[in-house]
Amino acid sequence: MSTQRVAVVTGAARGIGAATAARLAKDGYAVAVLDLDEGACADAVKAITDAGGKAIAVGVDVSDAEQVEAGVKRIADELGPPVVLVNNAGIIRDNLIFKMTQDDWDTVMAVHLRGAFLMTKACQAYMTQEKFGRIVNLSSSSAQGNRGQSNYSAAKAGMQGFTKTLAIELGKFGVTANAVAPGFIETDMTRATAERVGVPFEDFLKGAAAQIPVQRTGKPDDIAAMVAFLCSEDAGFVSGQVIYVAGGPLD
Ligand code: NAP
């Protein structure tokens, strides 16, 4: 087993998770690329290993307690104690409240909130033992409210309260917890939103960029860079914060 620190990134087969996994590998972590389908992680793992980094693919549904327990144990056995956790796995089931089903609500809560809870509970056991840990939870600018996303915005606001409580409970073990709340980032998730509202993705991007102070939409690497800082040794005195990475002010 290597002496590299081990990072777990959930929902890392693509999008923000894949960029974050690649960035953490570049920063020297051995990375568990965790996603629903282990096979779907192959490209993200190859990108890391081709660049000289270390990574394994792990297939886990983060909303399933047994799968989380088995997956985290496998990571610890194969790579070492997971001391960095990025709770990034996410889904959207958008609809206006009068059309939203209970299943739309429950599924979003299960992936974002139960998923982050289960993954954190499993990984903090290693972090507290190692007296070092970094937890970064993906929130969203939608936590402040977004039409068609009552389920998602509730979950992303929930991630913020979860993060602050983790910071309070785990600080004495050398563990920090922070939330990164992206604005508009170019991924399959925002592509799906463009489809839902019936606008070509390029036009959707232009429209979004015009509303953002820095006049562009975000890229997965913009988020990966902030996550990487929060996971670093240098960030040891930053905990319980929600950092909006949105090209302009939000709070
Ligand atoms: P994405 O491209 O849709 O990727 C999300 C990944 O999570 C997918 O690989 C997906 O797997 C995986 N996933 C879904 N459910 C899972 C589960 N139960 N267990 C394990 N993995 C699961 O999304 P993204 O845009 O990169 O977003 C990443 C995170 O940032 C999410 O938490 C999202 O809410 C947040 N965020 C994104 C934006 C944005 O503008 N894109 C803005 C704010 C916040 P499958 O492909 O198999 O479904």
The atom number, within ligand 1, closest to the CA of 63 reads: 18
Q: What is the pLDDT of residues 202-231, one digit of tens each?
A: 999 999 999 999 999 999 999 999 999 999
Residue with CA at minimum distance from ligand 1 atom 33: 90
The atom number, within ligand 1, closest to the CA of 11 reads: 7
190 close to ligand 1 (CB < 6 Angstrom): yes
Q: What is the pLDDT of residues 90-127, one digit of tens each?
A: 999 999 999 999 999 999 999 999 999 999 999 999 99
Q: Which CATH class name applies to 6-183+222-240?
A: alpha beta
Q: What is the pLDDT of residues 4-15, one digit of tens each?
A: 999 999 999 999
Mean pLDDT rounded to a whole number for the chain: 97
Q: What is the pTM of this model?
A: 0.98
58 close to ligand 1 (CB < 6 Angstrom): no
Cα 35 to middle of ligand 1, angstroms: 9
CA dist 86 and 35 (Å) reads 12
CA dist 227 and 238 (Å) reads 12
DSSP string, the chain: ---S-EEEEETTTSHHHHHHHHHHHHTT-EEEEEES-GGGGHHHHHHHHHTT-EEEEEE--TT-HHHHHHHHHHHHHHT--EEEEEE-------B-TTT--HHHHHHHHIIIIIHHHHHHHHHHHHHHHHT-EEEEEE--GGGG--TTBHHHHHHHHHHHHHHHHHHHHHGGGTEEEEEEEE-SB-SHHHHHHHHHHT--HHHHHHHHHHHSTTSS-B-HHHHHHHHHHHHSGGGTT--S-EEEESSS---
Residue 2's pLDDT is 54
Q: Residue 173: pLDDT above 70?
A: yes
What integer is the mean pLDDT of 163-174? 98
Q: What is the pLDDT of residues 130-151, one digit of tens each?
A: 999 999 999 999 999 999 999 9
Query: Can you give the residue ranges of every domain in the chain?
Result: 6-183+222-240, 184-217
Q: Residue 1: pLDDT above 90?
A: no
Q: What is the pLDDT of residues 185-204, one digit of tens each?
A: 999 999 999 998 999 999 99
Cα 89 to middle of ligand 1, angstroms: 5
Cα 46 to middle of ligand 1, angstroms: 20
